[in-house]
Amino acid sequence: MSIEIREADLRQAEDAQAFLLMLDAYARDAMGGGAPLDAEVTRRLVPALAEHPGAHVLLAWEGARPLGVATCFVGFSTFAARPLLNVHDLGVVAAARGRGVGRALLAHAEALARSLGCVKLSLEVLEDNSLARGLYASFGFRDYELGGVERRTLFLTKPLPS
């Protein structure tokens, strides 16, 4: 059976359920934190994401079975004065890894970015996630280049109390 990638309509129950299933599987994976999604996050996530401007959720399907997810957000490159597309989550269920699902999701994200006039794709990856880093490198992702010099990039966060 072939893999189909399509943009989710989170207002449709099947897509919303598949998205939550894929994101929870990603969260439970060691590279996603190793714990299920919080119940309150699960309750709020689909309605909030469906209303978020610039959000795009891509789902990978094999028939009626979801295999993976890419949650993407449109941002903006001030240096290029054009939009960019950030792949915020990329997850593939363990049983489907090594079958090209992640690559297919990235290819669809790139096509989406091109259709939106984006200057680039961006993503973050854990340094010790060698499998994902290999995929991303083979797809053309690299450290940031500034002034013709490739430079290591860091992804930093500052949690804000509720």
In tens, the pLDDT along 58-99 reads 999 999 999 999 999 999 999 999 999 999 999 999 999 999
Residue at 160 is within a domain: no
In tens, the pLDDT along 139-157 reads 999 988 888 888 888 888 8
In tens, the pLDDT along 112-123 reads 999 999 999 999
Whole-number pLDDT of residue 156:
87
Residue at 94 is within a domain: yes
Residue at 158 is within a domain: no
- Considering its fold, how many domains does the chain have in total? 1
Residue at 54 is within a domain: yes
CA distances from 125 to 52, 103, 122 (A): 23, 15, 10
CB atoms within 10 A of CB 25: 21
For the cut 90, the answer to whether the pLDDT of residue 108 exceeds it is: yes
User: Which of 118, 30, 26, 138 lies closest to 71 in space, CA to CA?
Assistant: 26
Residue at 161 is within a domain: no
**Amino acid at the residue 146:** L
User: Range of 46's domain?
Assistant: 3-151
CA distances from 19 to 36, 70, 82, 113, 158 (A): 14, 9, 29, 20, 26
Which residues, in sequence order, are CB contacts of 34 under 8 Å at separation 6+? 28
Whole-number pLDDT of residue 1:
63
Residue at 159 is within a domain: no
In tens, the pLDDT along 11-61 reads 999 999 999 999 999 999 999 999 999 999 999 999 999 999 999 999 999
Whole-number pLDDT of residue 144:
85
CATH of the domain at 84: 3.40.630.30
CA distances from 49 to 20, 52, 119, 140, 161 (A): 11, 5, 23, 28, 21
Residue at 157 is within a domain: no
